[in-house]
């Protein structure tokens, strides 16, 4: 996210040194990732803890939309954000002094605080708390070699994959033990649909520990692996020169999309084998395969966007400002969608299908991108980026 990452796409310099040019591709990637994030998050705000499922995908068109969102977005843009988090962390701390690490720790604290408020009041699937916690794991790696960082990230990711594999086996062996989110927390959906602002917050707070534990056991190992990969990529300026690296981005696009997309389609077909995602063994296995092969397609997206960015007339240029304010947009997406769907707002919770939810999610992204472009026409940073910067930057 922007303040997870956007402040630092170039090394910190002293006041006497010339300030290096800002890398544009990371900002463009963040802006595009935000639309992928919101279409994945929207069903969990609009329909409940289970998001899209066989029970709420009765219409053929809605099933097609949910299938497409799962193939193209589920887990892919979360990893892209994680990669960018590690990419920018390198630059925040590169000054090498204790001051850089102190600044990093303060940033993690404020991100955790913002994430907790976000999870309780607007979206229970918040990622900022996870980023803040996993970001602590990067601290001992800042001074390590690239090889050590990559081995550490790969080891954590493999351990996570083995754990999810055990969960898949358990879902086949003990199908009766599988419970949906609605079954674990029967009061959650009614609170979202009919409760006031504080009642909805109380329901989220009650479910938050279990939801974060589930998300953590499945998503966090891969996210930390992406942190480590991004950290090394930042050291090497991987996203600094899209024009000079066109050949590399072309190879990434061909391999990532050519291999990753068919795998995602096959895994999602398995996940939707009973009409939509559910807690059955085959469906859970399909989702697990989709999640742990998502890095392939995520790499393809980086390649495609790197190629697009390298063109003189790139359509991504208008998104650079939005990428600088991606934290504000990420939180803003949840605020807007919660206002639309929760009982304390327009009260559309559970009333719309996958197509309408996805259209609203994309429209929300478009409006916030426009709003942040207008904001940054007058101010140096987005509103939440300013808060994080002021908290994390030590006063002279």
pLDDT tens digits for range 63-118: 899 999 999 998 899 999 999 999 988 878 865 556 778 888 899 999 999 999 99
In a domain? residue 274? no
Burial of 236 (0-12, 13-18, 19+ CB in 10 A): exposed
> Token pair for residue 168?
């898949």
SS3 content of the chain, % helix, strand, coil (to 5): 75, 0, 25
CB atoms within 10 A of CB 16: 5
For residue 61, pLDDT over 70 is answered with yes
Q: What angle do CA 340, 41, 386 make, to 5 degrees?
A: 85
In a domain? residue 1? no
In a domain? residue 279? no
In a domain? residue 309? no
DSSP-based three-state secondary structure for 275: coil
Q: What is the mean pLDDT of the chain?
A: 86
As a whole number of angstroms, the distance between CA 159 and CA 221 comes to 7
* pLDDT: which is higher, 286 or 40: 40
Q: Percentage of residues in the chain with pLDDT exceeding 70?
A: 88
pLDDT range class, residue 130, cuts 50, 70, 90: very high
Question: What is the structure's pLDDT at 17?
Answer: 41
The arithmetic mean of pLDDT across residues 319-324, rounded, is 88
Number of domains in the chain: 1
For residue 176, pLDDT over 60 is answered with no
In a domain? residue 7? no
The arithmetic mean of pLDDT across residues 211-235, rounded, is 91
As a whole number of angstroms, the distance between CA 28 and CA 54 comes to 35
Question: What is the structure's pLDDT at 54?
Answer: 73
Question: What is the structure's pLDDT at 166?
Answer: 83
In a domain? residue 323? yes
pLDDT tens profile 225-284: 999 999 999 999 899 888 889 999 999 999 999 999 999 999 999 888 776 666 666 777
Range with the lowest mean pLDDT among 57-66, 126-135, 361-370?
Answer: 57-66
DSSP-based three-state secondary structure for 175: helix
SS3 string, 219-250, reads HHHHHHHHHHHHHHHHHCCCCCCCCCCHHHHH
Q: Is the pTM of this model over 0.75?
A: yes
Burial of 145 (0-12, 13-18, 19+ CB in 10 A): exposed
> Token pair for residue 216?
């953590």
Question: What is the structure's pLDDT at 55?
Answer: 73
DSSP-assigned letter for residue 127: S
In a domain? residue 300? no
Q: Percentage of residues in the chain with pLDDT exceeding 90?
A: 57
For residue 396, pLDDT over 90 is answered with no
In a domain? residue 117? yes
pLDDT range class, residue 290, cuts 50, 70, 90: confident
The arithmetic mean of pLDDT across residues 172-184, rounded, is 61
Question: What is the structure's pLDDT at 250?
Answer: 95
Question: What is the structure's pLDDT at 9?
Answer: 42
State which residues form the domain around 34.
22-240+315-392
């Amino acid at each position: 996210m922007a303040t997870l990452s956007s402040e630092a796409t170039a090394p910190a310099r002293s006041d006497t040194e010339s300030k290096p040019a800002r890398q544009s591709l990371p900002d463009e990637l963040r802006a595009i990732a935000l639309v992928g994030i919101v279409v994945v998050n929207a069903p969990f705000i609009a329909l409940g803890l289970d998001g899209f499922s066989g029970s709420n995908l009765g219409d053929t068109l809605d099933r097609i939309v949910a299938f497409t969102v799962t193939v193209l977005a589920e887990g892919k843009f979360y990893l892209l954000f994680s990669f960018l988090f590690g990419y920018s962390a390198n630059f925040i701390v590169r000054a090498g002094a204790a001051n850089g690490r102190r600044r990093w720790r303060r940033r993690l604290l404020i991100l955790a605080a913002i994430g907790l408020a976000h999870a309780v009041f607007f979206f229970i699937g918040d990622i900022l708390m996870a980023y803040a916690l996993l970001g602590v794991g990067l601290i001992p790696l800042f001074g390590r070699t690239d090889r050590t960082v990559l081995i550490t990230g790969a080891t954590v990711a493999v351990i996570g994959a083995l754990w999810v594999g055990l969960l898949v086996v358990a879902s086949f062996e003990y199908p009766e033990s599988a419970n949906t989110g609605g079954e674990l927390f029967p009061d959650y959906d009614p609170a979202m649909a009919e409760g006031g602002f504080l009642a909805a917050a109380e329901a989220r707070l009650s479910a938050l520990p279990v939801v974060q534990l589930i998300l953590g056991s499945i998503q966090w190992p891969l996210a930390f692996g992406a942190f480590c990969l991004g950290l090394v990529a930042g050291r090497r300026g991987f996203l600094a020169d899209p024009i000079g690296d066109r050949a590399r981005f072309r190879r990434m696009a061909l391999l990532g999309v050519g291999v990753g997309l068919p795998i995602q389609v096959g895994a999602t077909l398995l996940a939707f084998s009973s009409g939509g995602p559910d807690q059955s063994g085959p469906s859970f296995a399909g989702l697990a395969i989709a999640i742990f092969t998502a890095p392939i397609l995520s790499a393809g997206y980086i390649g495609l966007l790197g190629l697009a960015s390298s063109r003189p007339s790139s359509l991504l240029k208008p998104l650079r400002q939005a990428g600088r304010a991606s934290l504000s947009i990420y939180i803003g997406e949840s605020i807007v969608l919660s206002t639309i769907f929760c009982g304390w707002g327009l009260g559309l919770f559970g009333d719309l299908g996958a197509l309408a939810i996805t259209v609203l999610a994309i429209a929300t992204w478009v409006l916030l991108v426009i709003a942040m472009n207008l904001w940054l026409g007058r101010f140096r940073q987005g509103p939440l980026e300013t808060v994080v910067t002021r908290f994390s930057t030590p006063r002279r």
